[in-house]
Amino acid sequence: MEIRSDFLVIGSGIAGLFFAVKASEIGSVAIITKKEKAESNTNYAQGGIAAVISTQDSFDLHIQDTFNTGVGLCHRDAVELLVREGPSRLKELMNIGVEFTSKEGVLDLGREGGHSRNRIVHAQDRSGSEIERALLNAIATRPNITMYENHLAIDLITEHHLGKSVTKESSVNCWGAYVLDIHDNLVKKFLSPVTVLCSGGLGQVYLHTTNPQIATGDGVAMAYRAGAKIGDMEFIQFHPTSLYDSGSPAFLISEAIRGFGGILKTKRGDEFMQRYDERGSLAPRDIVAQAIDSELKKFGDDYVLLDVRHLPSDKIKEKFPHIYQTCLSKYKLDITQEQIPVVPAAHYACGGVVTDLHARTAIGNLYACGEVTMSGVHGANRLASNSLLEAVVFSHIAYEDVRNNRSMLEIKIPEIPEWDDSGTFDTEEWVLIEHDKKEIQQVMWDYVGIVRSDLRLERAHRRITLVQNEIENFYKRTKVVEGLIELRNFATVADLIVRCALKRKESRGLHYTTDYPERNDNQWLHDTIVSCWDA
Protein backbone atom coordinates (compact mmCIF):
# COMPACT_ATOMS: atom_id res chain seq x y z
CA MET A 1 0.00 0.00 0.00
CA GLU A 2 1.31 3.44 -0.96
CA ILE A 3 0.49 6.81 0.63
CA ARG A 4 1.84 10.03 -0.91
CA SER A 5 2.03 13.54 0.51
CA ASP A 6 4.12 16.68 0.06
CA PHE A 7 5.50 16.29 3.58
CA LEU A 8 5.98 13.23 5.76
CA VAL A 9 6.36 14.04 9.45
CA ILE A 10 7.54 11.23 11.72
CA GLY A 11 6.42 11.97 15.28
CA SER A 12 3.63 13.93 16.95
CA GLY A 13 5.40 15.94 19.65
CA ILE A 14 5.77 19.71 19.61
CA ALA A 15 8.35 19.70 16.78
CA GLY A 16 6.30 17.52 14.44
CA LEU A 17 2.97 19.21 15.11
CA PHE A 18 4.34 22.76 14.88
CA PHE A 19 6.02 21.94 11.57
CA ALA A 20 2.86 20.29 10.25
CA VAL A 21 0.67 23.30 11.08
CA LYS A 22 3.03 25.56 9.14
CA ALA A 23 3.71 23.19 6.23
CA SER A 24 -0.02 22.66 5.64
CA GLU A 25 -0.08 26.19 4.21
CA ILE A 26 1.98 25.09 1.19
CA GLY A 27 1.26 21.36 0.81
CA SER A 28 -0.29 18.16 2.10
CA VAL A 29 1.11 16.67 5.29
CA ALA A 30 1.05 13.09 6.56
CA ILE A 31 1.95 12.63 10.24
CA ILE A 32 2.74 9.15 11.50
CA THR A 33 2.82 8.47 15.22
CA LYS A 34 3.47 5.12 16.82
CA LYS A 35 0.80 5.34 19.52
CA GLU A 36 -2.00 7.79 20.18
CA LYS A 37 -1.48 11.27 18.76
CA ALA A 38 -0.91 12.92 22.17
CA GLU A 39 1.61 10.33 23.40
CA SER A 40 4.99 12.06 23.23
CA ASN A 41 7.77 13.41 25.44
CA THR A 42 6.21 16.85 24.90
CA ASN A 43 3.06 15.74 26.68
CA TYR A 44 5.09 14.82 29.79
CA ALA A 45 7.08 18.08 29.94
CA GLN A 46 6.27 19.96 33.14
CA GLY A 47 8.62 22.95 33.17
CA GLY A 48 7.93 25.12 30.13
CA ILE A 49 9.73 27.14 27.47
CA ALA A 50 12.74 29.32 28.21
CA ALA A 51 12.43 32.68 26.45
CA VAL A 52 13.60 36.23 26.97
CA ILE A 53 10.41 38.11 27.91
CA SER A 54 11.25 40.17 30.99
CA THR A 55 12.86 43.61 30.82
CA GLN A 56 15.21 42.31 33.53
CA ASP A 57 16.48 39.67 31.07
CA SER A 58 18.44 39.80 27.81
CA PHE A 59 19.40 37.60 24.86
CA ASP A 60 23.03 37.78 25.98
CA LEU A 61 22.17 36.42 29.44
CA HIS A 62 20.15 33.50 28.03
CA ILE A 63 22.92 32.75 25.56
CA GLN A 64 25.53 32.81 28.32
CA ASP A 65 23.45 30.58 30.61
CA THR A 66 23.09 28.08 27.76
CA PHE A 67 26.85 28.18 27.12
CA ASN A 68 27.72 27.76 30.77
CA THR A 69 25.47 24.72 31.10
CA GLY A 70 26.72 23.22 27.81
CA VAL A 71 30.32 23.26 29.15
CA GLY A 72 32.02 24.57 26.04
CA LEU A 73 30.42 22.39 23.37
CA CYS A 74 27.46 24.55 22.36
CA HIS A 75 27.65 25.95 18.83
CA ARG A 76 27.46 29.73 19.15
CA ASP A 77 25.56 30.31 15.90
CA ALA A 78 22.95 27.69 16.84
CA VAL A 79 22.52 29.05 20.38
CA GLU A 80 22.15 32.64 19.18
CA LEU A 81 19.57 31.52 16.64
CA LEU A 82 17.68 29.57 19.30
CA VAL A 83 17.56 32.40 21.83
CA ARG A 84 16.78 35.23 19.43
CA GLU A 85 13.97 33.29 17.73
CA GLY A 86 12.43 32.30 21.07
CA PRO A 87 10.06 35.22 21.75
CA SER A 88 8.60 35.16 18.21
CA ARG A 89 7.93 31.44 18.29
CA LEU A 90 6.38 31.80 21.75
CA LYS A 91 3.95 34.40 20.37
CA GLU A 92 3.05 32.00 17.55
CA LEU A 93 2.20 29.29 20.07
CA MET A 94 0.00 31.72 21.95
CA ASN A 95 -1.72 32.74 18.70
CA ILE A 96 -2.37 29.06 17.97
CA GLY A 97 -4.12 28.80 21.32
CA VAL A 98 -1.60 27.77 23.98
CA GLU A 99 -2.73 29.23 27.31
CA PHE A 100 0.33 30.00 29.41
CA THR A 101 0.00 30.98 33.06
CA SER A 102 -0.20 34.72 33.63
CA LYS A 103 -0.85 37.09 36.49
CA GLU A 104 -2.83 40.25 35.84
CA GLY A 105 -2.25 39.89 32.12
CA VAL A 106 1.51 39.37 32.40
CA LEU A 107 3.18 36.02 31.73
CA ASP A 108 4.28 34.34 34.97
CA LEU A 109 7.99 33.57 34.58
CA GLY A 110 9.60 30.78 36.59
CA ARG A 111 13.25 29.91 37.13
CA GLU A 112 15.02 26.57 36.87
CA GLY A 113 18.55 25.27 37.39
CA GLY A 114 21.26 27.07 35.42
CA HIS A 115 19.15 30.16 34.63
CA SER A 116 20.32 33.55 35.91
CA ARG A 117 16.88 35.14 35.42
CA ASN A 118 13.24 34.16 35.65
CA ARG A 119 12.43 33.23 32.04
CA ILE A 120 10.43 29.98 32.07
CA VAL A 121 7.07 30.54 30.40
CA HIS A 122 4.77 27.78 31.64
CA ALA A 123 1.23 26.50 31.91
CA GLN A 124 1.33 25.80 35.66
CA ASP A 125 3.22 22.47 35.86
CA ARG A 126 1.72 20.85 32.75
CA SER A 127 3.23 22.99 30.01
CA GLY A 128 3.88 20.18 27.55
CA SER A 129 0.35 18.88 27.83
CA GLU A 130 -1.11 22.34 27.21
CA ILE A 131 1.09 22.91 24.14
CA GLU A 132 0.18 19.49 22.77
CA ARG A 133 -3.54 20.21 23.30
CA ALA A 134 -3.42 23.48 21.40
CA LEU A 135 -1.39 22.07 18.51
CA LEU A 136 -3.66 19.04 18.14
CA ASN A 137 -6.67 21.37 18.04
CA ALA A 138 -4.94 23.38 15.31
CA ILE A 139 -4.16 20.20 13.37
CA ALA A 140 -7.84 19.18 13.51
CA THR A 141 -8.88 22.38 11.70
CA ARG A 142 -6.49 21.89 8.78
CA PRO A 143 -7.80 19.50 6.09
CA ASN A 144 -4.36 19.38 4.46
CA ILE A 145 -3.05 17.33 7.41
CA THR A 146 -3.72 13.62 7.90
CA MET A 147 -2.72 11.94 11.16
CA TYR A 148 -1.90 8.21 11.12
CA GLU A 149 -1.98 6.86 14.66
CA ASN A 150 -0.50 3.49 15.59
CA HIS A 151 1.91 3.65 12.67
CA LEU A 152 5.57 2.85 13.38
CA ALA A 153 8.35 3.79 10.95
CA ILE A 154 10.62 0.84 10.19
CA ASP A 155 13.27 2.43 7.97
CA LEU A 156 13.82 5.56 5.92
CA ILE A 157 13.61 4.88 2.18
CA THR A 158 16.89 5.69 0.41
CA GLU A 159 18.97 4.47 -2.55
CA HIS A 160 19.71 1.39 -0.47
CA HIS A 161 16.15 0.16 -1.07
CA LEU A 162 16.60 0.54 -4.84
CA GLY A 163 19.30 -2.09 -4.80
CA LYS A 164 22.03 0.48 -5.36
CA SER A 165 25.45 0.25 -3.75
CA VAL A 166 25.72 3.01 -1.16
CA THR A 167 29.12 4.10 0.20
CA LYS A 168 30.44 6.86 2.44
CA GLU A 169 31.06 9.00 -0.66
CA SER A 170 27.58 8.39 -2.11
CA SER A 171 24.89 11.03 -2.29
CA VAL A 172 22.05 9.61 -0.20
CA ASN A 173 18.48 10.89 -0.49
CA CYS A 174 15.32 10.15 1.47
CA TRP A 175 11.93 9.61 -0.20
CA GLY A 176 9.86 8.67 2.82
CA ALA A 177 9.68 5.58 4.98
CA TYR A 178 8.45 2.03 5.23
CA VAL A 179 5.87 2.09 8.03
CA LEU A 180 4.14 -0.66 9.99
CA ASP A 181 0.40 -0.22 10.52
CA ILE A 182 0.36 -1.79 13.97
CA HIS A 183 -3.38 -2.55 14.07
CA ASP A 184 -3.57 -4.14 10.60
CA ASN A 185 -0.07 -5.66 10.78
CA LEU A 186 0.62 -4.24 7.32
CA VAL A 187 3.75 -2.51 6.01
CA LYS A 188 2.96 0.61 3.96
CA LYS A 189 5.07 2.90 1.80
CA PHE A 190 4.78 6.54 2.86
CA LEU A 191 6.35 8.51 0.01
CA SER A 192 7.20 12.20 0.10
CA PRO A 193 9.73 14.62 -1.43
CA VAL A 194 10.34 16.04 2.08
CA THR A 195 10.62 13.94 5.24
CA VAL A 196 10.89 15.55 8.68
CA LEU A 197 12.15 13.41 11.54
CA CYS A 198 10.59 14.51 14.85
CA SER A 199 10.52 11.17 16.64
CA GLY A 200 11.70 12.36 20.05
CA GLY A 201 13.94 10.75 22.62
CA LEU A 202 15.40 7.45 23.76
CA GLY A 203 15.06 7.32 27.55
CA GLN A 204 13.54 3.83 27.52
CA VAL A 205 17.01 2.48 26.70
CA TYR A 206 17.65 2.94 30.44
CA LEU A 207 16.07 0.97 33.28
CA HIS A 208 14.87 4.13 35.06
CA THR A 209 13.52 6.97 32.94
CA THR A 210 10.98 9.77 32.97
CA ASN A 211 10.24 9.11 29.28
CA PRO A 212 7.07 7.34 28.09
CA GLN A 213 7.18 3.84 26.60
CA ILE A 214 7.40 5.23 23.06
CA ALA A 215 10.84 6.85 23.65
CA THR A 216 12.91 4.07 22.09
CA GLY A 217 15.26 6.10 19.88
CA ASP A 218 13.65 5.05 16.60
CA GLY A 219 14.58 8.21 14.70
CA VAL A 220 18.25 8.15 15.65
CA ALA A 221 18.50 4.45 14.77
CA MET A 222 16.77 4.86 11.39
CA ALA A 223 18.86 7.88 10.43
CA TYR A 224 22.05 6.08 11.48
CA ARG A 225 21.22 3.05 9.32
CA ALA A 226 20.43 5.37 6.40
CA GLY A 227 23.86 7.03 6.62
CA ALA A 228 23.24 10.23 8.59
CA LYS A 229 25.85 11.60 10.96
CA ILE A 230 25.13 11.03 14.65
CA GLY A 231 26.71 13.22 17.30
CA ASP A 232 27.32 13.57 21.05
CA MET A 233 25.37 10.49 22.10
CA GLU A 234 27.43 10.18 25.28
CA PHE A 235 25.59 13.17 26.76
CA ILE A 236 22.47 11.65 28.31
CA GLN A 237 20.78 13.94 30.79
CA PHE A 238 19.57 12.31 33.97
CA HIS A 239 16.88 14.41 35.58
CA PRO A 240 17.95 14.75 39.22
CA THR A 241 14.49 14.50 40.74
CA SER A 242 12.16 11.74 39.64
CA LEU A 243 9.84 10.38 42.33
CA TYR A 244 11.42 7.34 43.94
CA ASP A 245 9.69 4.00 43.26
CA SER A 246 7.03 5.56 41.02
CA GLY A 247 7.16 2.98 38.21
CA SER A 248 8.01 3.33 34.52
CA PRO A 249 8.01 5.99 33.31
CA ALA A 250 9.12 7.52 36.59
CA PHE A 251 7.02 10.46 37.73
CA LEU A 252 8.92 13.69 37.26
CA ILE A 253 9.23 16.24 40.05
CA SER A 254 9.78 19.42 38.06
CA GLU A 255 12.98 21.41 38.40
CA ALA A 256 10.73 24.43 38.85
CA ILE A 257 10.02 23.22 42.39
CA ARG A 258 13.69 23.82 43.24
CA GLY A 259 13.44 27.13 41.40
CA PHE A 260 10.56 28.00 43.72
CA GLY A 261 12.65 27.23 46.80
CA GLY A 262 12.71 23.45 47.27
CA ILE A 263 15.85 22.15 49.03
CA LEU A 264 17.61 18.82 48.52
CA LYS A 265 18.58 16.93 51.68
CA THR A 266 19.93 13.53 52.65
CA LYS A 267 17.83 11.13 54.71
CA ARG A 268 19.73 12.50 57.71
CA GLY A 269 18.48 16.02 56.98
CA ASP A 270 21.76 17.44 55.63
CA GLU A 271 21.53 20.09 52.90
CA PHE A 272 24.32 18.75 50.69
CA MET A 273 24.21 20.70 47.41
CA GLN A 274 26.31 23.66 48.65
CA ARG A 275 29.23 21.25 48.97
CA TYR A 276 29.08 20.62 45.23
CA ASP A 277 28.12 23.99 43.74
CA GLU A 278 27.65 27.54 45.03
CA ARG A 279 24.21 27.62 43.36
CA GLY A 280 23.08 24.85 45.69
CA SER A 281 19.86 23.11 44.69
CA LEU A 282 19.61 25.40 41.65
CA ALA A 283 22.80 24.14 40.00
CA PRO A 284 22.48 22.66 36.47
CA ARG A 285 21.15 19.14 36.14
CA ASP A 286 24.44 17.36 35.51
CA ILE A 287 25.92 18.74 38.73
CA VAL A 288 22.81 17.97 40.79
CA ALA A 289 22.47 14.43 39.39
CA GLN A 290 26.14 13.65 40.05
CA ALA A 291 25.87 15.11 43.57
CA ILE A 292 22.83 12.95 44.35
CA ASP A 293 24.55 9.89 42.91
CA SER A 294 27.59 10.60 45.11
CA GLU A 295 25.46 11.02 48.24
CA LEU A 296 23.52 7.82 47.58
CA LYS A 297 26.71 5.80 47.13
CA LYS A 298 28.33 7.44 50.16
CA PHE A 299 25.56 6.28 52.52
CA GLY A 300 24.06 3.34 50.61
CA ASP A 301 20.70 5.12 50.42
CA ASP A 302 18.04 4.54 47.76
CA TYR A 303 16.97 8.17 47.49
CA VAL A 304 17.46 11.71 48.75
CA LEU A 305 14.72 14.11 49.86
CA LEU A 306 13.33 17.24 48.28
CA ASP A 307 11.88 19.47 50.97
CA VAL A 308 9.22 22.12 50.27
CA ARG A 309 7.57 22.06 53.69
CA HIS A 310 8.97 25.50 54.52
CA LEU A 311 7.15 27.06 51.54
CA PRO A 312 3.52 28.30 51.68
CA SER A 313 1.29 25.28 51.04
CA ASP A 314 -1.30 27.31 49.14
CA LYS A 315 1.39 28.58 46.76
CA ILE A 316 2.68 25.03 46.18
CA LYS A 317 -0.83 23.86 45.31
CA GLU A 318 -1.36 26.88 43.05
CA LYS A 319 1.91 26.65 41.10
CA PHE A 320 2.24 22.85 40.94
CA PRO A 321 -1.31 21.46 40.95
CA HIS A 322 -0.53 18.42 38.79
CA ILE A 323 2.48 17.38 40.88
CA TYR A 324 0.62 18.01 44.13
CA GLN A 325 -2.51 16.10 43.12
CA THR A 326 -0.63 13.18 41.52
CA CYS A 327 1.61 12.70 44.54
CA LEU A 328 -1.39 12.90 46.87
CA SER A 329 -3.84 10.69 44.98
CA LYS A 330 -1.55 8.18 43.28
CA TYR A 331 1.36 7.93 45.72
CA LYS A 332 -0.34 8.96 49.01
CA LEU A 333 2.25 11.71 49.53
CA ASP A 334 1.31 15.22 50.65
CA ILE A 335 4.27 17.25 49.43
CA THR A 336 3.23 20.26 51.54
CA GLN A 337 3.57 18.15 54.71
CA GLU A 338 6.09 15.45 53.77
CA GLN A 339 9.50 15.42 52.12
CA ILE A 340 9.60 14.03 48.58
CA PRO A 341 11.88 10.99 47.98
CA VAL A 342 13.69 11.53 44.67
CA VAL A 343 16.31 9.79 42.51
CA PRO A 344 17.86 10.64 39.12
CA ALA A 345 16.36 9.02 36.01
CA ALA A 346 17.28 9.14 32.32
CA HIS A 347 15.46 12.14 30.93
CA TYR A 348 16.86 13.69 27.76
CA ALA A 349 19.36 12.96 24.98
CA CYS A 350 21.52 15.97 24.14
CA GLY A 351 22.95 14.15 21.13
CA GLY A 352 21.30 12.68 18.06
CA VAL A 353 21.05 13.20 14.31
CA VAL A 354 23.45 15.99 13.30
CA THR A 355 21.66 18.95 11.69
CA ASP A 356 22.74 22.33 10.37
CA LEU A 357 21.26 25.77 10.98
CA HIS A 358 18.42 24.96 8.56
CA ALA A 359 17.53 21.68 10.34
CA ARG A 360 18.92 19.71 7.39
CA THR A 361 20.64 16.35 7.93
CA ALA A 362 23.44 14.85 5.83
CA ILE A 363 20.77 12.93 3.87
CA GLY A 364 19.09 14.78 1.02
CA ASN A 365 15.43 15.81 1.56
CA LEU A 366 15.58 14.74 5.22
CA TYR A 367 15.12 17.31 7.98
CA ALA A 368 15.16 16.64 11.72
CA CYS A 369 13.87 18.70 14.65
CA GLY A 370 13.62 18.35 18.42
CA GLU A 371 15.15 15.82 20.76
CA VAL A 372 16.06 13.43 17.94
CA THR A 373 18.74 15.90 16.80
CA MET A 374 22.13 17.24 17.68
CA SER A 375 21.53 20.82 16.51
CA GLY A 376 24.43 22.27 18.49
CA VAL A 377 22.35 24.15 21.05
CA HIS A 378 22.82 21.84 24.06
CA GLY A 379 26.49 20.91 24.01
CA ALA A 380 27.48 18.63 26.90
CA ASN A 381 24.36 19.41 28.95
CA ARG A 382 20.96 20.95 28.19
CA LEU A 383 19.83 24.07 30.00
CA ALA A 384 16.42 23.44 31.57
CA SER A 385 13.42 24.30 29.36
CA ASN A 386 15.56 24.84 26.26
CA SER A 387 14.17 21.58 24.83
CA LEU A 388 10.66 22.73 23.92
CA LEU A 389 12.25 25.97 22.71
CA GLU A 390 14.61 24.04 20.41
CA ALA A 391 11.73 21.98 19.03
CA VAL A 392 9.59 24.96 18.09
CA VAL A 393 12.47 27.12 16.77
CA PHE A 394 14.03 24.49 14.52
CA SER A 395 10.74 23.12 13.20
CA HIS A 396 9.96 26.70 12.13
CA ILE A 397 13.41 26.96 10.54
CA ALA A 398 12.87 23.69 8.64
CA TYR A 399 9.56 25.00 7.31
CA GLU A 400 11.16 28.29 6.25
CA ASP A 401 13.89 26.39 4.40
CA VAL A 402 11.36 24.38 2.39
CA ARG A 403 9.14 27.42 1.78
CA ASN A 404 12.13 29.27 0.35
CA ASN A 405 13.04 26.26 -1.81
CA ARG A 406 9.64 25.05 -3.00
CA SER A 407 11.18 23.25 -5.95
CA MET A 408 11.91 20.50 -3.43
CA LEU A 409 8.22 19.61 -3.51
CA GLU A 410 8.54 18.82 -7.22
CA ILE A 411 11.27 16.21 -6.74
CA LYS A 412 10.52 13.12 -8.80
CA ILE A 413 10.38 10.10 -6.51
CA PRO A 414 11.79 6.95 -8.14
CA GLU A 415 9.85 3.71 -8.31
CA ILE A 416 10.04 2.34 -4.77
CA PRO A 417 9.61 -1.42 -4.31
CA GLU A 418 7.01 -2.85 -1.95
CA TRP A 419 8.18 -4.09 1.45
CA ASP A 420 9.65 -7.55 0.94
CA ASP A 421 9.25 -10.03 3.79
CA SER A 422 9.61 -13.16 1.68
CA GLY A 423 11.65 -15.86 3.38
CA THR A 424 10.68 -14.67 6.85
CA PHE A 425 8.35 -16.42 9.25
CA ASP A 426 6.05 -15.71 12.18
CA THR A 427 7.43 -16.71 15.53
CA GLU A 428 6.03 -17.15 18.99
CA GLU A 429 9.39 -16.58 20.68
CA TRP A 430 8.45 -13.06 21.77
CA VAL A 431 9.83 -13.80 25.22
CA LEU A 432 13.23 -13.25 23.57
CA ILE A 433 12.27 -9.65 22.74
CA GLU A 434 11.30 -8.84 26.31
CA HIS A 435 14.40 -10.56 27.69
CA ASP A 436 16.76 -8.69 25.33
CA LYS A 437 15.02 -5.39 26.10
CA LYS A 438 15.47 -5.83 29.85
CA GLU A 439 19.09 -6.89 29.42
CA ILE A 440 19.90 -3.77 27.40
CA GLN A 441 18.17 -1.52 29.95
CA GLN A 442 20.01 -3.13 32.87
CA VAL A 443 23.39 -2.97 31.15
CA MET A 444 22.91 0.69 30.24
CA TRP A 445 21.81 1.59 33.76
CA ASP A 446 24.63 -0.30 35.48
CA TYR A 447 27.54 0.62 33.18
CA VAL A 448 26.57 3.70 31.12
CA GLY A 449 24.78 5.80 33.72
CA ILE A 450 25.66 8.94 35.65
CA VAL A 451 29.18 7.75 36.59
CA ARG A 452 31.20 5.71 34.08
CA SER A 453 34.60 4.11 33.65
CA ASP A 454 36.49 2.46 30.80
CA LEU A 455 35.97 -0.93 32.44
CA ARG A 456 32.21 -0.42 32.69
CA LEU A 457 31.92 0.96 29.16
CA GLU A 458 33.99 -1.82 27.61
CA ARG A 459 31.91 -4.42 29.40
CA ALA A 460 28.74 -2.72 28.20
CA HIS A 461 30.12 -2.62 24.64
CA ARG A 462 30.81 -6.36 24.58
CA ARG A 463 27.39 -7.25 25.91
CA ILE A 464 25.47 -4.78 23.75
CA THR A 465 27.34 -5.97 20.63
CA LEU A 466 26.45 -9.59 21.38
CA VAL A 467 22.77 -8.80 21.93
CA GLN A 468 22.71 -6.51 18.89
CA ASN A 469 23.99 -9.27 16.61
CA GLU A 470 21.42 -11.71 17.95
CA ILE A 471 18.62 -9.19 17.40
CA GLU A 472 19.73 -8.40 13.84
CA ASN A 473 19.81 -12.09 12.92
CA PHE A 474 16.37 -12.57 14.46
CA TYR A 475 15.08 -9.47 12.64
CA LYS A 476 16.20 -10.74 9.22
CA ARG A 477 14.45 -14.09 9.72
CA THR A 478 11.20 -12.83 11.22
CA LYS A 479 8.17 -10.83 10.06
CA VAL A 480 8.27 -7.34 11.55
CA VAL A 481 6.14 -6.50 14.55
CA GLU A 482 6.15 -3.48 16.83
CA GLY A 483 8.24 -5.01 19.62
CA LEU A 484 10.91 -6.30 17.26
CA ILE A 485 11.26 -2.98 15.40
CA GLU A 486 11.67 -1.12 18.69
CA LEU A 487 14.11 -3.70 20.06
CA ARG A 488 16.30 -3.36 16.96
CA ASN A 489 16.34 0.42 17.48
CA PHE A 490 16.97 -0.05 21.21
CA ALA A 491 20.12 -2.03 20.49
CA THR A 492 21.36 0.41 17.84
CA VAL A 493 20.94 3.44 20.09
CA ALA A 494 22.52 1.72 23.09
CA ASP A 495 25.52 0.85 20.91
CA LEU A 496 25.83 4.47 19.72
CA ILE A 497 25.77 5.81 23.29
CA VAL A 498 28.47 3.37 24.39
CA ARG A 499 30.68 4.01 21.36
CA CYS A 500 30.54 7.78 21.83
CA ALA A 501 31.20 7.46 25.56
CA LEU A 502 34.26 5.27 24.89
CA LYS A 503 35.64 7.87 22.47
CA ARG A 504 35.53 10.78 24.92
CA LYS A 505 38.55 10.48 27.25
CA GLU A 506 37.59 13.26 29.66
CA SER A 507 34.73 14.29 31.95
CA ARG A 508 32.48 17.05 30.66
CA GLY A 509 28.88 17.91 31.42
CA LEU A 510 26.73 14.80 31.42
CA HIS A 511 29.64 12.47 30.67
CA TYR A 512 31.58 11.73 33.86
CA THR A 513 34.20 8.97 33.89
CA THR A 514 36.36 8.03 36.86
CA ASP A 515 39.30 7.22 34.53
CA TYR A 516 39.41 10.79 33.17
CA PRO A 517 37.78 12.90 35.90
CA GLU A 518 38.97 16.27 34.57
CA ARG A 519 37.75 18.38 31.67
CA ASN A 520 40.34 18.51 28.85
CA ASP A 521 39.77 21.42 26.47
CA ASN A 522 43.09 20.85 24.70
CA GLN A 523 41.98 17.54 23.20
CA TRP A 524 38.21 17.24 23.62
CA LEU A 525 36.66 20.63 22.92
CA HIS A 526 34.73 19.16 19.99
CA ASP A 527 31.71 17.02 19.20
CA THR A 528 31.81 13.23 19.04
CA ILE A 529 30.60 12.23 15.57
CA VAL A 530 29.91 8.67 14.36
CA SER A 531 28.23 7.14 11.31
CA CYS A 532 27.43 3.68 9.97
CA TRP A 533 30.47 3.97 7.71
CA ASP A 534 32.92 3.83 10.62
CA ALA A 535 31.15 1.11 12.65
- The residues that are catalytic are 285
Q: Is 391 helix (H, G, I), strand (E, B) or coil?
A: helix
- Residues 365 and 409 sit within 8 Å (Cβ to Cβ): no
Residue 249: cis peptide before it, omega within 30 degrees of 0: yes
Positive/negative CA dihedral, 419, 424, 426, 429: negative
How far apart CA 262 and CA 312 sit, in angstroms, is: 11
Helices and strands (DSSP H and E) totals, the chain: 15, 24
Q: Is 451 helix (H, G, I), strand (E, B) or coil?
A: strand
| Residue from 91, 89, 81, 92 nearest 59 by CA | 81
How far apart CA 363 and CA 218 sit, in angstroms, is: 17
CA contacts within 13 A on the Cβ side of 434: 4
Residues 6 or more apart from 196 whose CB is under 8 A from it? 7, 8, 9, 10, 16, 19, 23, 366, 367, 368, 369, 395, 398
Render the burial of 93-118: b for 16+ CB within 10 Å, e for the rest: beeeebebbeeeeebbbbbbbbbebb
